Structure 1
Amino acid sequence: MKRFATLALAAACLAAAAGTASAHDRPTSVQAQVFVTTVDRAELLHQRPAVAFAKGASPETTITVDPQREFQTVDGFGASITDSSAALLTGLAPAAREQAMRSLFDPAAGIGVSFLRQPVGSSDFTAEAAHYTYDDMPAGQTDFGLRHFSIAHDEQAILPLLRRAKQLNPRLTVLATPWSPPAWMKTGDSLVGGSLKNDPKIYRVYAAYLLKFVQAYAAAGVPIDYLTVQNEPQNRHPSAYPGTDMNVAAQAAVIQILGPLLRKASPRTKILAYDHNWATHPGDIESTPPGQDPETDYPYRLLADPATAKWVAGTAYHCYYGEPAAQSALHAAYPSKGIWFSECSGSHGPDDTPAQIFRGTLTWHARTLTIGTTRNWAKSVVTWNIALDETSGPHLGGCGTCTGLLTVRADGTVSTDAEYYTIGHLAKFVQPGAVRIGSTSFGTTGWNGQIMDVAFRNPDGSTALVVHNENDDPRTFAVAVGDQSFTYTLPGGALATFTWPRSPGLRTHLRQLPLTGATATASPNAADAALAIDDDASTRWSSGAAQAPGQYLQVDLGRPTTVRRVAIDSGGSTGDYARSWSLQASDDSVTWRSLATGTGVGQLTNVDIGHIRTRYLRVSATAAVGNWWSIADLRLYA
Structure 2
Amino acid sequence: MKKLKLITTDLKNNKYWQQEEREASKVSDCMKVINIYPEVSYQEIEGFGGAFTEASAYNYSKLSEKLKEQLIEDYFGETGLKYNMGRVHINSCDFALGNYTYIEEGDEALRTFDIAHDKELILPMVKEAIKKASGDISFLASPWSPPAFMKTNGDMNHGGKLKGEYYEAWAKYFVKFIKAYKEEGIEISSVTVQNEPMAVQTWDSCIYTAEEESLFVRDYLGPALEAAGLEKVDILIWDHNKEEAFNRVRDTLKDEKAKKYTKGVGVHWYTGDHFEALELIKKQYPELKLYFTEGCVEYSRFSDSGEIKKAEMYAHDMIGNLNGGISGFYDWNLLLDEQGGPNHVGNYCAAPILCDSKYDALDKKLSYYYIGHFSKYIKKGAKRIALTRYTDKVQAVAFVNPDGERVVILLNKGEEAIPVTLREEGKGTELTLESHSIVTITYK
For the aligned pair, the TM-score class normalised by the smaller chain equals over 0.9
Q: Secondary structure at the match of 1:279?
A: helix
The code of the aligned residue for 1:85 comes to S
Q: Secondary structure at the match of 1:111?
A: coil
Question: 2:24 matched to 1:53?
Answer: yes
Residues 441 and 267 of structure 1, relative CA distance in 2, 3 Å threshold: farther
C-alpha distance in structure 1 between counterparts of 2:113 and 2:195, whole Å: 21
Q: Specify the alignment match of 1:255 in structure 2.
A: 217
C-alpha distance in structure 2 between counterparts of 1:351 and 1:248, whole Å: 31
Is the 8 Å Cα contact of residues 466 and 498 (structure 1) preserved in structure 2?
yes
Residues 432 and 90 of structure 1, relative CA distance in 2, 3 Å threshold: same
Q: Specify the alignment match of 1:223 in structure 2.
A: 187
Q: Which one of the candidate residues 199, 207, 212 is aligned to 1:245? A: 207
C-alpha distance in structure 2 between counterparts of 1:352 and 1:321, whole Å: 17
State the Cα distance separating 1:415 from its structure 2 match.
1.1
Question: 2:32 matched to 1:71?
Answer: no
C-alpha distance in structure 2 between counterparts of 1:38 and 1:347, whole Å: 23
Deviation per residue, 1:299-324 (Å, 9 max, x gap): 21112321101001111111011412
TM-score, normalization: structure 2?
0.94
State the Cα distance separating 1:149 from its structure 2 match.
0.9
State the Cα distance separating 1:352 from its structure 2 match.
5.6
Q: Which one of the candidate residues 265, 289, 294 is aligned to 1:343? A: 294
Is the 8 Å Cα contact of residues 193 and 245 (structure 1) preserved in structure 2?
no
- Please give the residue correspondences for 1:326-405 in structure 2 after superposition, counting only pairs within 5 Å: 326-348=277-299, 356-367=305-316, 369-397=317-345, 399-400=347-348, 402-405=349-352
Is the 8 Å Cα contact of residues 123 and 179 (structure 1) preserved in structure 2?
yes
C-alpha distance in structure 1 between counterparts of 2:431 and 2:90, whole Å: 45
Question: 2:4 matched to 1:32?
Answer: yes
The code of the aligned residue for 1:375 comes to N
Q: Which one of the candidate residues 100, 106, 115 is aligned to 2:71? A: 100
Q: Secondary structure at the match of 1:67?
A: strand
Is the 8 Å Cα contact of residues 146 and 162 (structure 2) preserved in structure 1?
no
Q: Specify the alignment match of 2:243 in structure 1.
A: 279
Q: Specify the alignment match of 1:421 in structure 2.
A: 369
Question: 2:87 matched to 1:117?
Answer: yes
Question: What is the identity percentage for the equivalent residue pairs of Structure 1 and Structure 2?
Answer: 27
State the Cα distance separating 1:422 from its structure 2 match.
2.9
Q: Which one of the candidate residues 181, 197, 206 is aligned to 2:146? A: 181
C-alpha distance in structure 1 between counterparts of 2:275 and 2:6, whole Å: 27
C-alpha distance in structure 2 between counterparts of 1:186 and 1:458, whole Å: 46
State the Cα distance separating 1:68 from its structure 2 match.
0.6
State the Cα distance separating 1:88 from its structure 2 match.
0.5
Is the 8 Å Cα contact of residues 122 and 133 (structure 1) preserved in structure 2?
yes
The list of structure 1 runs, each at least 4 consecutive aligned residues, that deviate by more than 6 angstroms after superposition, is none
The code of the aligned residue for 2:260 comes to K
Q: Give 5+ residue unaligned stretches, structure 2.
A: none
Deviation per residue, 1:564-588 (Å, 9 max, x gap): xxxxxxxxxxxxxxxxxxxxxxxxx
Is the 8 Å Cα contact of residues 8 and 438 (structure 2) preserved in structure 1?
yes
State the Cα distance separating 1:349 from its structure 2 match.
6.6
How many residues of Structure 1 are paired with residues of Structure 2 in the alignment? 439
Deviation per residue, 1:578-623 (Å, 9 max, x gap): xxxxxxxxxxxxxxxxxxxxxxxxxxxxxxxxxxxxxxxxxxxxxx
Q: Specify the alignment match of 1:308 in structure 2.
A: 258
Is the 8 Å Cα contact of residues 348 and 357 (structure 1) preserved in structure 2?
no
Q: Specify the alignment match of 2:381 in structure 1.
A: 433
Q: Secondary structure at the match of 1:464?
A: strand
Deviation per residue, 1:22-67 (Å, 9 max, x gap): xxxxxx7x111111112437112222x2122112322442111111
C-alpha distance in structure 2 between counterparts of 1:58 and 1:349, whole Å: 46
Greater RCO (Cα-Cα under 8 Å, separation 6 or more) = 2
Q: Secondary structure at the match of 2:146?
A: coil
- Please give the residue correspondences for 1:107-186 in structure 2 after superposition, counting only pairs within 5 Å: 108-126=78-96, 128=97, 130-137=98-105, 142-169=106-133, 170-186=135-151
Name the structure with the higher helix share.
2
State the Cα distance separating 1:397 from its structure 2 match.
1.4
C-alpha distance in structure 1 between counterparts of 2:190 and 2:253, whole Å: 17
Residues 303 and 55 of structure 1, relative CA distance in 2, 3 Å threshold: same
- Please give the residue correspondences for 1:566-585 in structure 2 after superposition, counting only pairs within 5 Å: none
State the Cα distance separating 1:338 from its structure 2 match.
1.3
Q: Which one of the candidate residues 231, 249, 253 is aligned to 1:299? A: 249
Q: Specify the alignment match of 1:42 in structure 2.
A: 14
Q: Specify the alignment match of 1:593 in structure 2.
A: none
Deviation per residue, 1:314-373 (Å, 9 max, x gap): 1111101141221111111111111111111013478966xx521111122211x22010
Q: Specify the alignment match of 1:562 in structure 2.
A: none
Deviation per residue, 1:165-212 (Å, 9 max, x gap): 12222232111110001111101211002433442x311101000111
C-alpha distance in structure 1 between counterparts of 2:232 and 2:276, whole Å: 29
- Please give the residue correspondences for 1:4-43 in structure 2 after superposition, counting only pairs within 5 Å: 30-40=2-12, 42-43=14-15
Is the 8 Å Cα contact of residues 84 and 136 (structure 2) preserved in structure 1?
yes
C-alpha distance in structure 2 between counterparts of 1:63 and 1:223, whole Å: 41
C-alpha distance in structure 2 between counterparts of 1:346 and 1:253, whole Å: 33
The code of the aligned residue for 2:192 comes to T
Is the 8 Å Cα contact of residues 378 and 407 (structure 2) preserved in structure 1?
yes
Question: 2:441 matched to 1:494?
Answer: no
